[in-house]
Amino acid sequence: EDYTDDWREVTDLTEKLHEGDVLTCRIKSIQKNRYQVFLTCRESDMRNNRFQNYQNMDQSRALEVSDAIRSLAETFYARTNVLSQQFVNASSSSGPYSIAKCIQVLESIEEVNMQTYLKAIEKLQDKRWRETFIEMSAYCRMGWLASL
């Protein structure tokens, strides 16, 4: 359905539209000095949209856009694979810097109270902190735990 107020019959629009309604509109004009954006929701004004512009592109431009989209998708999938591998490595229960190893070392320290223990476990979720914790001397571990 087409809606327009054209600066008149605003009461008619408020009866038709309600908070939360979703409209598809197009920016008609912008007046930056007045902080106003004029929209059009008329079907006739909406016909000239981006999808039709894409269909009217020349073949070489369409191929460029297609290649760019394909490249973005490949980059996205590569990054997703790297991040998932990092997650698997970080959550691994074996290895010299695993959470299990850190808990074993942490529980071997008799002077650690529960509050400090829980803060340390929270920090040790990060692989960098696990590596640092395991490589520290016993004296430095005590200082680190006291600082939490």
Residues found in the chain: 148
Among 5-9, 121-125, 128-132, which stretch is predicted with the lowest mean pLDDT? 5-9
pLDDT the model gives residue 60: 73
In percent, the amount of the chain with pLDDT more than 90 equals: 27
Instruction: Tell me the pLDDT tens digit for each residue of 13-63.
Output: 566 666 676 666 666 777 777 666 666 666 555 555 444 555 555 677 777
**Average pLDDT value for the chain:** 74
CA distance linking residue 133 with residue 145, whole number of Å: 10
Confidence of residue 71 (pLDDT cuts 50, 70, 90): confident
- With 60 as the cut, is the pLDDT of residue 101 above it? yes
Q: What is the arithmetic mean of pLDDT over 126-134?
A: 93
- With 60 as the cut, is the pLDDT of residue 141 above it? yes
DSSP code per residue over 43-104: HHHHSS-HHHHHHTS-HHHHHHHHHHHHHHHHHHHHHHHHHHHHHHHHT-S-STT-HHHHHH
- With 90 as the cut, is the pLDDT of residue 139 above it? yes
Q: What is the arithmetic mean of pLDDT over 54-76?
A: 72
pLDDT the model gives residue 108: 93
- This prediction has a pTM of 0.40
pLDDT top residue among 58 and 125: 125
